[in-house]
Each structure stands twice: as structure tokens, then as C-alpha cells.
Amino acid sequence: MEVATLLPLAVTLIMSPLLLGVINRTKAMVGGRKGPPLLQPYYDLIKLLGKGAVYSRTTTWVFRAGPIVSLAGCVLAATLVPLGGCESLIKFHGDLILLAYLLGLGRLCTVLAALDTGSPFEGMGASREAMFSALAESAFLLGLAALARNTGATSLTQMHAALADGAWSVSGLTLALVTVALLVVFLAENSRIPVDDPNTHLELTMIHEVMVLDHGGPDFAFILYGASIKLWVLGALIINLVLAPSAGESVADLGVALAGMLILAVLVGLIESTMARLRMPRVPQLLVGATALSGLALVLEFGGIGK
């Protein structure tokens, strides 16, 4: 096994919390504050890992399994995604569907763990998460299907390689539609602002945060770390799509992709600073809109645009 195949995974595991730091720093700077240090998410993780966990007597093994399974799902998903010029660690035909459902499995376990606490707030958060992610999933899968149709490949690594040979000049229209749809999915899945506010601790408006209220110590560290890997994985899909590798040299391309990830994080920070969170009834509209964009891209691909 070459070292280069391990590189994207290693980078993901090490650098993913940094994205959260960059987003928070951007938000602080736009808001005129100094903000927490860039490495604050790492300090949080280390602090949480050193603590003990408290479990409610009403919870069962489902509650304890939730954070572990969701972290495992996110790490496995990270092995499937290429970055820059580097191929992913695991690649086979149809791995894009496995990617979608590994993330789905993690979400399912978080939702079950939230329901297991028996707290009405967490049940509310769980039902919202389940509904919104079901809508986001259709946008995600249709977008990936449009990409697969465009590149003629069903593996993320092959798709990535096919995008490199000038796909943007041939069918930039559909790729742009898919990029916008994936960006909406990226924001929704990572509970960023137009859909959910990661900072709010008002139960009535929270989605993701409310589900993990009862987790503490190492469990909460797993959840935070899993969330940051998910942020990285979905972001990497967008970056792979927008910045297809061009230098042909994997190290240089990896550098470009990493710079792209940081720019994406700054972009998310800017979106969060300039937009308000949508009202709950508007969120499905946004997600179905993203689905419509993905669907339009897929239909255009089948309609033979630009071919």
C-alpha cells in the first residue's frame, strides 16, 4: 500500500476540527470580536476526553452506542472520499451510495440515542433531524447520481479523476447546479446556519444540539469529533467537484484542496454571519429546492446537454 493512499484519511482525521475553528474565527472577526483560538476545537476535545461520563438510569446500551457508531460511520466515510490528487483508501463501484448511508447510519444512531433518553426535547430534536436529513438525502443522492451520469463513473475516486479532464468546460452548467445543491446539503447536514444554528441553546429552535444534550465527557467528544469529520467529508466532496486536480502531482493538488477546504470554511463563516436561520417551516422548502436543483442537473444530464 502506498503512503499516498493513507494521506487523505490522515489529513481528514487530523485537520477536521480545524475547520470548525476557522468557521468560528471568521464569524468572530465579521462580528468584530477576537474570537476563540483557531485550535479551540482540539482543546475542547482533549478536555472532554479527560472527563468521566454520567449516564442516566433510564438509558440503555443504545444511548452509549450512539456516539461510538456515529463516529465510526464518519471515519469509515472519510476512507471513501478522495482529496486533491490523492485517491481514497477504499474504492469500489458504487461507493458513493455507501458514503451516503454510512453518514445515514451515524445519524440513525444519534437519533436513537436521543430518543433513548426519554427527554421530550431530545425527541423533538430527533424528529426534526430525521425529517430534514431525509429531505437532504434525496438532494445528496440525486446530485451524486447526476455526477455519476456526467462522469460515467460510480466510484468517488474515478469520478474525481474524470472531473479533472476538463469536465467543467464541457458541462459546467450541470456541475454548477450540483455544486449549489451539495452546498445546501453540506450546510443542512452539518447543522449550519440557514438550517440550524450551532450556537443556539434554546431548545425550541435547535435541531442537532438538542439531540446531544445528555451526552457528556468522552461521548460528547466522540460526537463533536464525528461532526467535524462529517463537515470535512461533505466539504471535501464540494472541493473535489469545484477544484478538480490540475497539477497532476498529488502533493501539489492536495495543497490546493486543503487551501480550498479552508476557503470553504471561511465561506461558511461568512454565510453564518450574513444570514439568519430560516424558520422551521421554511427549511423543507430550502431542502426540496436543493433536491429540485439536483433533479434538474440529473435530467439535464439525461437530456444530453453539452454532449
Partner 1 sequence: MSTDLNLVLVMLANLAMLGSSRLSACIRLSAAQGILLSLLPLQLELAEHKLAPRLALFALTILVLKGVVFPALLMRTLRTADVRHEVVPMVGYVSSLIFGVIVLCFSFWVSSRLILPHPAPSPLVLPLALSTILIGLFLIISRKTALMQVVGYLVLENGIFIFGVALANKTPLLVEMGVLLDVFVAVFVMGIAIFHINREFDHIDVNQLTSLKD
Distance CA 156, CA 4 (A): 17
Interface with partner 1 includes 199 (CB under 8 A)?
no
Neighbours of 159 (CB within 10 A): 25
Neighbours of 132 (CB within 10 A): 22
Contact between 225 and 71 (Cβ < 8 Å)? yes
Distance CA 304, CA 214 (A): 51
CB of 276 to partner 1, least distance (A): 16
Interface with partner 1 includes 267 (CB under 8 A)?
no
List the one residue out of 214, 208, 262, 225 whose CA is nearest residue 46. 225
CB of 284 to partner 1, least distance (A): 5
Choice between 118 and 303, CB closer to partner 1: 303
Interface with partner 1 includes 279 (CB under 8 A)?
no
Distance CA 47, CA 207 (A): 25
Interface with partner 1 includes 300 (CB under 8 A)?
yes
Binding window for partner 1 (CB under 8 A); candidates: 58-66, 195-203, 217-225, 296-304 = 296-304
Interface with partner 1 includes 302 (CB under 8 A)?
yes
CA distances from 128 to 40, 80, 90, 164 (A): 29, 28, 32, 38
Interface with partner 1 includes 289 (CB under 8 A)?
yes
Interaction pattern, residues 99-138, with partner 1; x per rule: CB under 8 A: ----------------------------------------
3-state helix, strand, coil in the chain (%, to 5): 70, 0, 30
Choice between 248 and 304, CB closer to partner 1: 304
Interface with partner 1 includes 285 (CB under 8 A)?
yes
Choice between 173 and 271, CB closer to partner 1: 173
Helix, strand, or coil (residue 86): strand
Report 53-92 residues binding partner 1 (CB under 8 A). none
CB of 304 to partner 1, least distance (A): 5
The one-letter amino acid at 162: A
Phi and psi dihedrals of 90, rounded to 5? Answer: -115, 130
CB of 27 to partner 1, least distance (A): 28
Choice between 20 and 175, CB closer to partner 1: 175
Interface with partner 1 includes 210 (CB under 8 A)?
no
Choice between 173 and 262, CB closer to partner 1: 173
Distance CA 134, CA 124 (A): 16
Report 164-193 residues binding partner 1 (CB under 8 A). 173, 177
Distance CA 212, CA 207 (A): 10
Interface with partner 1 includes 303 (CB under 8 A)?
yes
Contact between 241 and 70 (Cβ < 8 Å)? no
Number of residues located near partner 1, criterion CB under 8 A: 18
Interface with partner 1 includes 143 (CB under 8 A)?
no
Interface with partner 1 includes 284 (CB under 8 A)?
yes
Residue 74: alpha-carbon gap to chain centroid:
9
Give alpha helix (H) positions in 31-152: 40-49, 61-80, 95-116, 120-151
Binding residues for partner 1, rule: CB under 8 A, are: 173, 177, 284-285, 288-289, 291-293, 295-296, 299-300, 302-306
